[in-house]
Chain A
Amino acid sequence: MGEMVRIPGATYLLGTPEWLLDWLDDEDQPLPRQWFADETPQVEVTVAPFLLDRYPVTVSEFAVFVAATGYRTDAEQCGFGMVYGEQTWEERAGACWHTPGGPGTNTDGYADHPVVHMSWNDATAYAAWAGRRLATEAEWELAARGPEFRIWPWGDEWKVEAANTAEYYAGSLSSLGAWKQWWLSMHAQYGAMPRTTPVGAFSELGDSPYGVADLGGNVYEWTATVSELYDPATVCDPSVRMALGRYRVMRGGSWMNFRYQTRTTERIHGDPTGWSSFAVGFRCAKDE
């Protein structure tokens, strides 16, 4: 099991300051405020000291778990995993953690990459076996930015060489159309294989203040936190409102995303009832 880092406890303001929403609104790519409303307002939280995996759980680590327990992931049980095909998301028959692009693919050369096609159930099962747990959202964000706000784990200045994002491969991206062009070229070359990188590949440059790696990009990470608004009065996308109380918060963005989705305070909400994708993994936490 992976090395853990001690995160000192702190009281801090969870979430995104208003000035950052102004910045997002001013960027070239359309980034409506409503998209990120669930990151506001900032709220004071107190986090006790805890331990966090330095890296996301890897393919080889998950393989040890499977060998020891015979565990079958949700994707294996339902017979498909979500991948982004040529045009959109697909329920690809046979895609799972050891065949991440679907039939005919494998994890050769991916042993030290984050394991993907991880549902919330899969992540919590592994964590329980390892004597660990998933981090809460407040713990995750503290580990990513420290008690003082910063946009990305390494600071407020975007550095394309600091994280595994779509921009690392494609250069600066400012539109969905540009992303689709990039993905089409990737797909033509590699099929629906995830573009993950070995854990820690962007250390130390991309590490958080506590030396935790891959908290921005590489894979989305499940947390233990049930999705809720920081303030119930916040106006957000009705589709997101339906996820509240039902989904679980995911953090960090992935190799698929632009810089905006890999911020320390970016929130995405994932269906915990068995869904996973080739951009979703996790890391574990532990009480001190």
Chain B
Amino acid sequence: MVKIILPAGWTMGRTEFEGSEGLLPDVIRQFAQDNPIYGPRLLGPNSELLTYINVCIDDDLIMRNERASATVPAGSTVVITAPMAGG
């Protein structure tokens, strides 16, 4: 299992969720499938991660051109940051 943290402004409350380990795109798609209310905020119509959503795995920012091959190991934390962050 992995921890997925969403912006507080998206959730209006709980920000920590659970997800499955694996390739980053698959982790996000599965999370979106399990939590469809957040799907449109994360994925475009082609089910690819929106360009300007930023993703960190254990404090490391994953560059956009490395997302497709990035892996999310079990026990790690994925933090989603919107391109405009804050309250």
User: Which residues of A are interface residues toward B (Cβ below 8 A)?
Assistant: 30-32, 34-36, 38, 78, 80, 82, 87-89, 91, 176, 220, 237-240, 242-243, 246-247, 250, 261, 266-271, 274-275, 277
Contact = CB atoms under 8 A, between A and B. Distances in A.
B86 A268 contact: yes
B61 to A, nearest CB: 7
Interface residues of B, number: 26
Interface in B27-83: 40-41, 44, 50-52, 54, 56, 59, 61, 79-83
B2 interface: no
A91 B51 contact: yes
Nearest to B80: A239
Nearest to A239: B7
A269 B84 CA distance: 5
Given A239-B81, A277-B84, A176 B52 contact: no
B87 A91 contact: no
Contact of A238 (B15, B44, B51): B15
Contacts of B84: 220, 250, 268-271, 275, 277
A240 to B, nearest CB: 5
Closest 9 pairs between A and B when the two form their complex, measured CB to CB: A35-B87, A239-B7, A271-B83, A275-B83, A243-B85, A275-B52, A237-B8, A268-B86, A88-B40
B57 to A, nearest CB: 11
B12 A176 contact: yes
16 contacts: A31-B87, A32-B8, A78-B51, A91-B50, A91-B52, A220-B84, A238-B79, A239-B15, A239-B80, A239-B81, A239-B85, A242-B61, A242-B85, A261-B87, A267-B86, A275-B83
Chain A contact residues, majority secondary structure = mixed
B85 to A, nearest CB: 4
Given A88-B41, A239-B81, A243-B85, 19 more contacts: A34-B87, A35-B87, A38-B86, A89-B41, A91-B50, A91-B51, A176-B12, A220-B84, A237-B85, A239-B7, A239-B82, A242-B56, A243-B54, A247-B85, A261-B87, A269-B85, A274-B52, A275-B83, A277-B83
B44 A36 contact: no
Contacts of B40: 87-88
A242 to B, nearest CB: 5
A105 B61 CA distance: 36
A240 B86 contact: yes
A80 B86 CA distance: 23
A87 B44 CA distance: 13
Given A238-B15, A242-B81, A82 B52 contact: yes
A35 B85 contact: no
A270 B84 CA distance: 5
A178 to B, nearest CB: 14
A191 B3 CA distance: 37
A239 B5 contact: yes
Residue of B56, B59, B85 contacting most chain A CB atoms (<10 Å) = B85
A38 B12 CA distance: 17
B40 to A, nearest CB: 5
Given A91-B44, A242-B79, A242-B81, A271 B52 contact: yes
